[in-house]
Structure 1
Amino acid sequence: MGRDRIKILDGGMGTTLEAMGHSVNSELWGSELLHTNPEIMAGIHRQYAQAGADLVETCTYQLTSGNLSNYLSTIQASKTSSSPTFSYNENQNNDTSHTQDHDHDQDYDTNSLFCRSIDLVHTAFSSSPLHGSSINTVTHVTHSHQRTDKSKDVVFSCGPYGSTLRPGAEYSGLYPPPYGPSSSGSSEVGSDKAMNNFESSVEGQSQEEEAIRLLTKFHLDKLLTVALVEETWRKIEWIAFETIPLLYEIKAIRLAMGELYDLLRRHYWKAETLEDGWYKKKFWITCPFPNSQFPQMGPNGYHVEIDELMDTLISPTMHCQGQGQVGEAVTKPIPMPIPNGIGINCTNPSYLSSLSKEFTNALKGQLQRQREREQRPKVSFVCYPDGGQVYDVHTRSWSTPLGGSDPDEWAKGLLSIAREVEKAKFKSNDNKNDNDNDNDNDCGDGKESERNSEGEEYVWDGVIVGGCCKTSFDEIRALKTNLDKMYEKE
């Protein structure tokens, strides 16, 4: 049973491209190859599938309609300026022919490149000799240990707003206004504490609401580039919101998913009569933990704790300020979709053991407090750390710590954590001793987690493990090999 509850995600894309000699220094980072050489990217997806990945992400982490449009405009301007007057070759590079309606063509090219990113992953599974040609666009988890039904899932990658900034702000959460708080003259320049959390004043709350509104639009706009194209949207199984450094951006993402579901319900209303809710794709939200801490600071001057992060991730509603009947400020709850997966990415693997236990205990507490609900949230733990190297956002370079990084040891360490997380259980009944020793069963590290007594349920719906920056095919292959060995005698 345990083996069937663990899936393998692919590894890093940008750093893998760099290791192969490709530049990722343009405005689009590695996504530039979607336009200039998609076969290179297709080959990387294919190698991850062959290495054993059950899920493969698109190369769209930093990609937005805005930076892609700017890039295409620059390319178009360069072609025009270097070509003889009125003699532009419309068939150059097999691009869609250009017309005088430049804006229309630019929009078409922007959306088509997003769709191409999904097609490349989808095709990678069908062309992988190790995994055959069958792709499940709806996840099916078999209870057979042999896992003869290989479910291969396309994951649409969506980075935070901070991934579009120079330097990147995924680790700091330092967003400029109006996407972040206004700087305070009395605060230290460049201080995370000064810049990445809003004041608790009325003005601060107003700024936060505006930031949430803008970030909701930022994420929704990206989703709509592919969600309204039915053929493309049906190929996606998961949406990965990854490296999210701020609580209010998590709220914006969940609001964006709620708006997306409402829009697609109306857009696909005819198809829904045959397949109820097919357009509601699963999504996960993962966060970075530089130096083992969530980037956002709290009003007390300390980093936000896992319990507060968990509440923001899976609370069924968000409370927003509004106007009452006589104009007074009131707080009203807004329902939000609950992610199908939450967890950790782009983090040094040395922090995973303690962080995974904190996540498990925090979710366990939420589940036990929600006993009255008819349906508790079913959430998978998603964990794809870095390869162990350290990244400098200013020089955009990596440094290797003493001792280096071995793919096999990296995989074994990650899988030992994944197995403990997978086994963790909680008491779901109303026995009088429910509250006794609840916190002693941290993460399934003993016999308590393996009990199959009545009233116990798994804390997590499943586990997804993979690699982020500075991981590649060797790490994913090692994950597959060691995961199979871990359960081969069961």
Structure 2
Amino acid sequence: MNPIEKILKKQKAVVIDGALGTELERKGYELNDPIWSAKFLMQNPMAIAQVHQDYLEAGADCITTASYQASFEGFMKKGLSKQEAKELLKNSIELAKKTRDNFVQNNTNKSRVKPLVAASIGPYGAFLADGSEFRGNYKVSEQELIDFHKERMQTILETNPDLLALETLPSFKEAKALCELLKDFPNAHAWLTFSAKDEKHINDGTPIKECAQWLDKQKQIIAIGINCTAPQYIASLISQIKEVSTKPIIVYPNAGGSYDAITKTWNTKEEISSYKAKAELWYEKGATLIGGCCQTTPTDIEQIAKWVRED
């Protein structure tokens, strides 16, 4: 049984954590850097650990690692050796696992499921650091995408995370490349989430229904969905996925703001008065893994967790 199914047998939904990068910003840290939140793996890993801890205390059943924008190429551009880059990648997973294990050891609520650690693998566009993960228009072949992701995925899997989070993918081509690459690691499970530009299409223009129908046949993909997308599109996107797939649906939208690729910051956001109400709607539409992305906070995740466990 995959780790998501184990939790869904015990409760109606899996509570995913919220933003990492913008949560660090909210705490006063500066993120204007080509490797974004991954720079804290180099400079201040305990700041990352504190965010993980905050989400666990808020009720998250799964925390995602600080490896989204971490890559060999990105770290080596910062002057690190390949071996140093490899150690930082591994550290991003070990940091989350250690924080989770300490939380479990000290948690007095024995009815709580053991939280998962999902190792984040962001898109090629995240490495470009120019906002391409919200466009998907980078001109590379499927094989080039496989080559880019291969060593990073192998390194991350050496740390034995509970699953992979293949996230914020703007491109159907990249989703296919990552699924092809997963076959080299037959014991690995992953969720796969796209960034979307409207109610029916991922950011490269491919209908989400077409993506979900193809992914439904990929055995190592254990949940399909959407992240870092405006909340108003989520209900429709869930419905589109549900029409063509029987896999669990995962959603963790952003708070509705716009991203500035130059300053690496998010601008104005939609005010979400009740994340609980949003979560209930998304659950009714068919999502069973629910969390938040950029500009969401532990308070938002706490609302989801209380709703999931109020029964």
- TM surpasses 0.5: yes
1:217 to 128, 147, 150: 147
Amino acid at match of 1:295: N
Aligned partners of 2:189 and 2:222 also within 8 Å: yes
Aligned partners of 2:119 and 2:156 also within 8 Å: no
Aligned partners of 2:254 and 2:295 also within 8 Å: yes
Aligned to 1:116: 91
Q: Give 1:306 deviation, angstroms.
A: 2.8
If the length of structure 1 is used for normalisation, what is the TM-score? 0.58
Q: Distance in 2 between matches of 1:391 and 1:2?
A: 37
Q: What are the superposed Cα offsets for residues 304-349 of structure 1, whole Å, 9 maximum, x if unpaired?
A: 2233112332335xxxxxxxxxxxxxxxxxxxx4411110100111
Alignment of 1:417 onto 2:282: yes
2:203 to 291, 295, 298: 295
Amino acid at match of 2:41: L
Q: Give 1:169 deviation, angstroms.
A: 0.6
Aligned partners of 2:32 and 2:263 also within 8 Å: no
Q: Distance in 2 between matches of 1:24 and 1:360?
A: 36
Amino acid at match of 2:182: M
The structure with the largest alpha-carbon Rg is: 1
Q: Give 1:46 deviation, angstroms.
A: 0.9
Q: Give 1:247 deviation, angstroms.
A: 1.4
Q: Distance in 2 between matches of 1:346 and 1:2?
A: 27
Aligned to 1:355: 237
Aligned partners of 1:15 and 1:469 also within 8 Å: yes
Alignment of 1:255 onto 2:189: no
Secondary structure, aligned partner of 2:286: helix
Secondary structure, aligned partner of 1:225: helix
Aligned partners of 1:315 and 1:338 also within 8 Å: no
2:217 to 315, 340, 361: 315
Q: Distance in 2 between matches of 1:308 and 1:390?
A: 26
1:7 to 7, 14, 34: 14
Alignment of 1:45 onto 2:52: yes
Aligned partners of 1:412 and 1:482 also within 8 Å: no
Secondary structure, aligned partner of 1:170: helix
Alignment of 1:283 onto 2:190: yes
Aligned length: 302
Aligned to 2:115: 152
Q: Distance in 1 between matches of 2:185 and 2:38?
A: 24
Aligned partners of 1:313 and 1:338 also within 8 Å: no
List aligned pairs for 1:197-236, cutoff 5 A.
211-227=141-157, 229=158, 232-233=159-160, 236=161
Aligned to 2:4: none
Q: Distance in 1 between matches of 2:129 and 2:113?
A: 40
Q: Distance in 1 between matches of 2:129 and 2:47?
A: 26
Structure 1, unaligned runs of 5 or more: 74-105, 135-145, 180-210, 262-279, 297-302, 317-336, 365-378, 423-462
Q: What are the superposed Cα offsets for residues 112-145 of structure 1, whole Å, 9 maximum, x if unpaired?
A: 11121111111212222xx4458xxxxxxxxxxx
Q: Distance in 1 between matches of 2:37 and 2:220?
A: 30
If the length of structure 2 is used for normalisation, what is the TM-score? 0.90
Structure 2, unaligned runs of 5 or more: 1-7
Q: What are the superposed Cα offsets for residues 160-186 of structure 1, whole Å, 9 maximum, x if unpaired?
A: 10111141211111103xx1xxxxxxx
1:405 to 240, 265, 272: 272
Amino acid at match of 1:349: P
Q: Distance in 2 between matches of 1:419 and 1:3?
A: 18
Q: What are the superposed Cα offsets for residues 204-237 of structure 1, whole Å, 9 maximum, x if unpaired?
A: xxxxxxx11111111211112233x4xx22xx11
**Change beyond 3 A, Cα 1:342–1:418:** same
**Change beyond 3 A, Cα 1:27–1:9:** same
Q: Distance in 1 between matches of 2:121 and 2:83?
A: 20
Q: Which has the higher contact order (CA 8 A, sep 6+)?
A: 2
* Percent of paired sites with the same residue: 26
Q: Distance in 2 between matches of 1:149 and 1:474?
A: 18
Secondary structure, aligned partner of 1:259: coil
Aligned to 2:260: 392
Q: What is the CA RMSD across the aligned residues, in angstroms?
A: 2.2
